[in-house]
Structure 1
């Protein structure tokens, strides 16, 4: 069945909702979740059949025996279903069972060989494919995955942002790095973007702020892991919620307009013009700064002094970061700006020293 979700998202209630358990565990569990979710009118019901786990002693999915449980649950409530595939064998089994939509997981998206194998396996079909971002923050790798499916003739594609792997982050299981999905939208505006707060947060109490931010950034929808008894789930129990909790989350969401044009005075347009003028000043000042940097580079070259002066750089960083609160800017932002300016300064002085 051709869904053509990419071009028909507008017919679905916003946010485009994908919900269901991390793992399909039994026929009864899957049917119960689907029935409980039906009143929320999800666009897709998800269920993991094969689970790529970090440790081999973890539950790695019920396997192909669970495919009819997932498909029949979707048919019972009249909602298409989706599952994750990691190789051609998975694809063949899922298509044969009647799965409507396939998704490529983060651990598979990171491997071009695996992505190509799946693209080859679906070539000649009209299946919808969703691709999660790779586990590492590599925008080109994510884009490359979409291009492999486009080359295989699969054009009904959807992106899922699920965050990026990190070691012991105090807040996230996978850091969102929002600039990367924003970059994907810039490079491939035709690809709808879905957010997966479950994997970004890793905890059910962190789902809402991530979901709200995704809506504020004009994401098309959400993929949220939903289980009839989350505490007893066989995988990722801590990040799953009940259908009732999902309803509460959706009821709290503020859905804002994408169109900024309002009747009368174009306030945003006026403010943007002011920002443009300030940006012009900033870039002209940066140009002047780099001219001074090159002069210093000439002096260093003449006196045979190294480009990097660590003590000066450390002192300047400490001084500027101490101003963060006064400037009402985050320390992370200030640090990233200073690092970028410093790298550009090094580039200019390198060019002077080694023309």
Structure 2
């Protein structure tokens, strides 16, 4: 029986590596990049976009069907598997006919259950491995739903691709990583390997390494990196692609840490975790005490016809806490999110007191 993609990922030396250009441009380009990837890295899979879902209609949208044999033959010639993105049933029909080894579903498609269902129906009975990118918006259930639709169609050789989430005008990322989403996917579906896509998260080749390192530190199984023989002249996404030799250098700088540790190390970590657990107990005890006071305030507001939301007071509270974040060695983003959550829970408690018949 042929080994599944999941098995290849699980038994490979981390990271399992998928590499290749954003777009297939010519047979020569694909052969060159496949050869150089095979020579310079431990990549197992050659990727290339055949159809490119672009934001603006006048952008390069891929060479189309003529590029499929370029991808398949370049991969086979260099001992690699091949993969490309599919967005509809016609794409599925063409990649299966061309002999592409692995399909992937892109972020713009994952967000649409109708499109995912169409692809699942078209793939039914093929047994082809499928990698599913997270949807463009941070919705864990949409991502899980895509896997479930494929599984209902009999496709069980699946992996996730974390490529980040669309945001407007972020100065650091092309797509915000929102690491909590793939971590939640691991919690919900520990059977699914996750491959990180630093190229689409960063949008800039110089930022690939820290993102790839974080993915490895979070115990992701693999990486998918856009790799081009001449990135500056790439027909799409030139800014985020690297040469095969640059990819080799980047991979050499990754620190791969272990998940399993010695019994002695486990015992030492257990002592530290016990300390954290004790502190967590105290934190929740303090939160409970705080909410009891919030309920007292709710009674006072109810009896004096005062609104729950006191905007000026809230603004002062936020400003005070944010001003102390650095001194406390906490990020402003964490402090803001924590205070927002605290405020919402306080509002919930006061609402319960002031309007007991309205529920939460």
TM-score tier after normalising by the smaller chain length: over 0.9
- CA deviations on 1:129-173 (whole Å, 9 max, x unpaired) are 000001111111111111111111111110000011111111110
Partners of 1:114 and 1:283 in 2: how far apart? 44
Task: Identify the residue that residue 225 of structure 2 maps to in structure 1.
Answer: 224
Task: Identify the residue that residue 332 of structure 2 maps to in structure 1.
Answer: 331
Partners of 1:352 and 1:264 in 2: how far apart? 49
- CA deviations on 1:286-315 (whole Å, 9 max, x unpaired) are 011111111111111111111001111111
Of the structure 1 ranges 5-14 and 162-171, higher mean CA displacement relative to structure 2 is found in: 5-14
- Is this contact kept in 2: 1:226–1:241, CA < 8 A? yes
C-alpha change, 1:3 and 1:67, in structure 2 (3 Å) is farther
- CA deviations on 1:301-338 (whole Å, 9 max, x unpaired) are 11111100111111111111111121111111111100
Task: Identify the residue that residue 22 of structure 1 maps to in structure 2.
Answer: 22
- CA deviations on 1:214-251 (whole Å, 9 max, x unpaired) are 11111101000000011110000010000000000000
Task: Identify the residue that residue 178 of structure 1 maps to in structure 2.
Answer: 179
- Is this contact kept in 1: 2:10–2:221, CA < 8 A? no
Task: Identify the residue that residue 34 of structure 2 maps to in structure 1.
Answer: 34
Within-5 A mapping of 1:183-262: 183-262=184-263
Q: Which runs of 5+ in 2 are unaligned?
A: none
- Is this contact kept in 2: 1:3–1:128, CA < 8 A? no
- Tell me the secondary structure at the aligned position of residue 131 of structure 1: strand
- CA deviations on 1:67-118 (whole Å, 9 max, x unpaired) are 0110000110111100000000000000100000000000111111100100
Runs of 4+ in 1 over 4 A off after TM superposition: none
Q: TM-score, normalised by structure 1?
A: 0.98
- Tell me the secondary structure at the aligned position of residue 138 of structure 2: coil
Of the structure 1 ranges 253-262 and 321-330, higher mean CA displacement relative to structure 2 is found in: 253-262
- Tell me the secondary structure at the aligned position of residue 103 of structure 1: strand
Within-5 A mapping of 1:107-118: 107-118=108-119
Deviation at 1:263, TM superposition (A): 3.2
Within-5 A mapping of 1:78-97: 78-97=79-98
Partners of 1:64 and 1:3 in 2: how far apart? 28
- Tell me the secondary structure at the aligned position of residue 84 of structure 2: strand
Partners of 2:243 and 2:353 in 1: how far apart? 62
Deviation at 1:3, TM superposition (A): 4.6
Deviation at 1:265, TM superposition (A): 7.0
- Is this contact kept in 1: 2:205–2:239, CA < 8 A? yes
Task: Identify the residue that residue 323 of structure 2 maps to in structure 1.
Answer: 322
Task: Identify the residue that residue 274 of structure 1 maps to in structure 2.
Answer: 275
C-alpha change, 1:140 and 1:301, in structure 2 (3 Å) is same
Q: TM-score, normalised by structure 2?
A: 0.97
Deviation at 1:13, TM superposition (A): 2.3
Task: Identify the residue that residue 289 of structure 2 maps to in structure 1.
Answer: 288
Task: Identify the residue that residue 122 of structure 1 maps to in structure 2.
Answer: 123
Within-5 A mapping of 1:7-86: 7-39=7-39, 40-86=41-87
Partners of 1:212 and 1:262 in 2: how far apart? 26
- Is this contact kept in 1: 2:24–2:49, CA < 8 A? yes
Deviation at 1:272, TM superposition (A): 0.2
The alignment yields a C-alpha RMSD, in angstroms, of 1.2
- CA deviations on 1:172-195 (whole Å, 9 max, x unpaired) are 100101111101111111110110
Partners of 1:219 and 1:333 in 2: how far apart? 23
